[in-house]
Amino acid sequence: MPSSVMPTPRLGDGPQSSAAVSAVGLRKSYGDKTVLDGIDLRIPAGSVFALLGPNGAGKTTAVRILSTLIDADGGQAQVAGHDIATSPDGVRAAIGVTGQFSAVDGLITGEENMLLMADLHHLSRREGRRTAAELLQRFDLVDAAKKPASTYSGGMKRRLDIAMTLVGNPRIIFLDEPTTGLDPRSRHTMWQIIRELVADGVTVFLTTQYLEEADRLADRIAVLNDGRIAAEGTAEELKRLVPGGHIRLRFSDPSAYRSAALALHEVTLPHSALRRGGTPIDEALSLQIPSDGTQRELRSILDWLDAAGIEADELTVHTTDLDDVFFALTGGTDKPKEAVR
């Protein structure tokens, strides 16, 4: 579905909670390339907000503007109640930023990196040592604390990065792709860290390439495409925007597959899903039948398959996931590999 025909839904926006971040009409261009073409955001305090978008969509640019690292060309934004243009120091005092690329200095130890941050935040020597020790403990870096950070694994560096961000006890943190390149265990550790931050009342603004991450962590998700927010809402709300549910039949016998594909193509039953047509995907000997995933529709599809003598080796029910949303909203019409829907 082309994004141009999608409305820009702002679903279930509750005015009741105060906004940690709000933006109206944010714009940014580099030369004649428009990166952000009027972005509106409202992130309630104490929530997790995920900004999704393909490479180059402008996620980092948005983070850099909101964290006052660069200026917007137009629009307005308040972060922690401070205007980014007129009160950047107020913004900086309230936020922490973990950039897409690590701010860790590899030449010094993890502990020294922490103490450097404590200095930057003007903590006393004693307070700095206490904060560093506490955070190194919390992020499971005590054993590595005296080793040069260049010897840390990617996951350890990322944990140190976030620990450094927390030195100033920020109420709002920006995490630009916090789990890119991490293995599944490290990713889960990072999710746990983020959940604990939120439980402490911190607002988290994260960008991610991992839709599952947004799905699991974020209270609200915005999809950035072509410089605009293509859609915004909870994961469930976004999934409802895009039809993607289907039943998938997989065959091991090519001739069984072919006759099933033929039967599906010829079907003229008054059943809505079957009328919409099954789709063969040759290389995997699979067929897809659009389905809303309800028990009723599943039963009638099964009845029809029985009546038509189609017996698949495997039947799986797929509900819409954020991948479907992402591909629908960011220009691609389909998921790669699952070519046709």
Residues forming contacts to Mg ion in the complex (CB under 5 A) are 59-60, 100
Of 155, 222, 214, 218, which Cα lies nearest the Cα of 190? 155
Residue number closest to Mg ion, CB atom: 60
- What are the Cα distances from residue 129, in Å, to 136, 163, 165? 10, 13, 15
Q: Which does 58 bind (CB under 5 to 8 A by kind): Mg ion, ligand ATP, none?
A: ligand ATP
54: left (phi over 0), alpha (psi -120 to 50) or beta: beta
Q: Are 232 and 43 in contact (CB under 8 A)?
A: no
Q: How is residue 96 written in tokens? A: 């922490």
Tell me which of Mg ion, ligand ATP, none is bound by residue 55, counting a contact when its beta carbon lies within the kind-specific cut-off of 5 to 8 angstroms.
Answer: ligand ATP
Q: How far is the CB of 111 from ligand ATP (least distance, A)?
A: 30
Per partner kind, with CB cut-offs from 5 to 8 A, the member of ligand ATP, Mg ion, none near residue 53 is ligand ATP
| Least distance CB 30 / ligand ATP (angstroms) | 3
When the beta carbons of 61 and 179 are compared against ligand ATP, the nearer one is: 61
> Distances from the Cα of 137 to the Cαs of 28, 140, 154, 177, in angstroms?
40, 5, 18, 23
Identify which of residues 56 and 181 has a Cβ nearer to ligand ATP in the complex.
56
Number of H helices, E strands in the chain: 12, 14
* Residue 284 C-beta: closest distance to ligand ATP, Å: 30
Per-residue contact string for residues 267-296; x = within reach of ligand ATP by CB under 6 A: ------------------------------
Nearer to ligand ATP, 28 or 246 (CB): 28
Q: What are phi and psi of 6, to 5 degrees?
A: -80, 135
48-52 vs 203-208, strand pairing mode: parallel
Write the interaction track for ligand ATP spanning residues 49-68; mark x where CB under 6 A is met and - where it is not. Answer: ----x-xxxxxxx-------
Is residue 306 classed as helix, strand or coil in its secondary structure?
helix
Total residues interacting with ligand ATP, rule: CB under 6 A: 11
Residue bearing tokens 């900086």: 92
User: CA–CA distance from 81 to each of 66, 75, 163, 274 (Å)?
Assistant: 12, 16, 24, 54
Beta carbon nearer to ligand ATP, 251 or 327: 327
Residue of 82, 77, 46, 80 lying closest to 64 (CA atoms): 77
Answer whether 103's CB lies under 8 Å from 174's CB: no
In the bound state with ligand ATP, the residue whose beta carbon lies nearer, of 36 and 261, is 36
Contact between 211 and ligand ATP by CB under 6 A: the answer reads no
* Of residues 177 and 324, the one with the C-beta less far from Mg ion: 177
CB of 69 to ligand ATP, least distance (A): 11
Choice between 175 and 274, CB closer to ligand ATP:
175
- Site track for ligand ATP across 81-110, x = CB under 6 A: -------------------x----------
Long-range contacts of 137-145 (CB under 8 A, 24+ apart): 138/163, 139/163, 139/193, 140/189, 141/110, 144/110, 145/109, 145/110, 145/111
Q: Tell me which residues in 5-44 interact with ligand ATP (CB under 6 A).
A: 30, 35
Which residues in this chain contact ligand ATP in the complex, by CB under 6 A? 30, 35, 53, 55-61, 100
